[in-house]
Amino acid sequence: MTERKASFARAPVELPDEAVQAERFEKARSAQASAVLEDYVELIDDLLASGGEARPTDIARRLGVSHATATKSIGRLKREGLATSKAYRGVFLTPDGHALAARVRARHRLVVDLLIAVGVPPECAERDAEGLEHHVSDVALAAFARYLKR
């Protein structure tokens, strides 16, 4: 419009290498693909540890989805060897599922702690962490731990 070729309305944009950029997006997509599974195993593990039972209806209510949706995702957990269940009984985690839950919970806490440490209000930290946690790599996680220990 009013902008001419020689104006410097914006710094010249330097794009990353194509392959590098593609790899970053692919990583983000793959992290997202496991996000639902991670939330389920973490929640199931919490329910089992706190009360004793992890029933589809409870899981659904806490996740804010319909029980049909929860049941379908639990089916995926079972297909992937993370959970077990029998009709009309609660859901349980396999050793693999339990191990995943432990990692996911530790990561969740570390993310919350880091957010709070840099000045994010606690409830906001908890809320944001629920989405952020699935995209924090082990390397970044280690950096967070170092930072918090400083």
Partner DNA sequence: TTCAAAATGTAGCATCGGCTACATTTTGCG
Partner DNA sequence: CGCAAAATGTAGCCGATGCTACATTTTGAA
Q: Which DSSP category does 13 fall into?
A: P
For residue 84, list its beta bridge partners: 92
The tokens for 93 are: 């985690």
Residues 34-93 that bind DNA (CB under 7 A): 35-37, 55-58, 63-69, 71-73, 76, 85, 87-90
Q: Give the helix/strand (H/E) hosting 100.
A: helix 95-117
> Residue 40 or 144: which CB sits closer to DNA?
40
For a copy of itself, the closer of residues 82 and 101 by Cβ is: 101
Residue 97's SS3 state is helix
91 strand-pairing partners: 85
Q: 10 Å Cβ neighbour count for 67? A: 14
Please report whether residue 79 would count as binding a copy of itself according to CB under 8 A.
Answer: no
Annotate each residue in 103-142 with x if it binds a copy of itself (CB under 8 A) or - if it does not, as one string: -----------xx--xxxx--xxxxx-xxx-xxxx-xx--
108 binds, among a copy of itself, DNA, Mn ion, none (CB under 5 to 8 A by kind): Mn ion
Among 37, 73, 108, 112, binds Mn ion (CB under 5 A): 108
